[in-house]
Amino acid sequence: MRSLREALGQFATGVAVVTTMTPGGERAGVTVNSFSSVSLDPPLVLWCLSDRAPSAPVFLRAGRFAVNVLAAGQDELSRRFATPARDKFAGIDVLATPSGLPILAGTVATFTCHTVTVHDGGDHHIFVGGVEHYQRSGGEPLVFHSGRYREFASSPG
């Protein structure tokens, strides 16, 4: 299993934090590197969450989520949302979408979505979301490769 994980780690990915809030106000957030575009028409994205994640029941109940694409230098946010904690949002700059979803400040892009479907994917749930709103701030993204955070080297002109 470890060698498969190491081989998969050779594919460089962006890093995102997916956040949600239930109608009752329960918030959850989790770091993912499984975010991907599915379709432009209609606009659909997907991401994956372990069946064993403590936040899985919250995401399954919420019916909505926001994908926060992290910027270079936001590796501490990535670590925070990858680690179990009582309130992962405590002490950080959190904004809210018009629908009330928590989003993180300083990211390179955000996508606010409603859950279209959830598929069984082995030991993960595959969430497919319909993009309702997105915002692109730009900048360099946080990248994960071979078990480490990476930053792009700026190329001349």
pLDDT higher than 80, residue 1: no
The predicted-structure confidence for 70-116, as pLDDT tens digits, reads as follows 999 999 999 999 999 889 999 999 999 988 999 999 999 999 999 99
Distance CA 82, CA 78 (A): 6
Please measure the distance between the N-terminal and C-terminal CA atoms of the chain and give it in whole angstroms.
42
pLDDT in tens, 113-132: 999 999 999 999 999 999 99
Enumerate domains of the chain plus CATH numbers.
11-143 (2.30.110.10)
Strand pairing partners for 148? Answer: 145
Can you tell me the mean pLDDT for 29-58?
96
Q: pTM for this one?
A: 0.91
CA proximity to 129, closest of 34, 51, 53: 34
Would you state the pLDDT for residue 117? 98
The two tokens of residue 27 are 């918030």
Q: How far apart are alpha carbons 118 and 3 in whole angstroms?
A: 29
The predicted pLDDT at position 148 comes to 80
